[in-house]
Amino acid sequence: MDEFMQAAIDEAEQGLKEGGIPIGSVLVYQGKIIGRGHNLRIQKKSAILHGEMAALEHAGRQPASVYRNSTLYTTLSPCPMCSGAIRLYQIPRVIIGENQTFLGDEEMLKASGVEIEVLQNAKCISLMEQLKDSSPELWNEDIGEE
């Protein structure tokens, strides 16, 4: 297991411990994690702090050159909002834990020139399957579904 995807999974599991949605993410620049976070919908009553957004927020203000040489790791396929953030900052590479339980805007990312790798990691899948089984209404809220 890549240490960075492991860090994203650690974030997802931390979210689960907090009673939250188990999705985590880390932003990696020059071989180091410069931002990390997990979904905070429940913990902060947040509509925008998905895992990827939390990692970007934690990284703070960065120049364009940093984003353009970074890799974003996320345990789940990025939704339209998070994909839009990836496009805004022109992050060139995204490593995705899995896209079996939810398929985000990967086609648009690819069309924008973003390199994508999907791992279909069993732990990432299991975390999301548990959430969708136990709290389908919460998951629907997180992705704007009825």
What's the closest the beta carbon of residue 107 comes to a copy of itself, in angstroms?
A: 12
Number of residues counted as binding a copy of itself (CB under 8 A): 35
What are the Cα distances from residue 106, in Å, to 83, 95, 103?
Answer: 8, 11, 7
**Sign of the four-CA dihedral 84, 87, 89, 94:** positive
Tokens for 18, please give them: 């907090």
Q: Residues 17, 51, 114, CA angle at the centre, nearest 5°?
A: 150
Nearer to a copy of itself, 96 or 123 (CB): 96
Question: How far is it, in rounded angstroms, from Cα 33 to Cα 31?
Answer: 7
Nearer to a copy of itself, 34 or 121 (CB): 34
Mask 16-55, x = binds a copy of itself (CB under 8 A)?
-------------------------x---xxxxx---x--
Closest CA to 83 of 121, 58, 56, 62: 56
For the question of residue 3 being annotated catalytic, the response is: no
User: Is 90 strand, coil or helix?
Assistant: coil
Q: Choosing from 52, 106, 115, 129, which is the catalytic residue? A: 52
Between strands 24-29 and 70-74, the pairing is antiparallel
Binding of a copy of itself at residue 90 (CB under 8 A)?
yes
Q: Which of residues 53-72 bind a copy of itself (CB under 8 A)?
A: 53, 56-57, 59-65, 67
Among 23, 82, 96, 124, which residue interacts with a copy of itself (rule: CB under 8 A)? 82
Residues contributing to the site for a copy of itself (CB under 8 A) = 41, 45-49, 53, 56-57, 59-65, 67, 79-85, 87-90, 105, 140-141, 143-146
Catalytic sites, residue numbers: 52
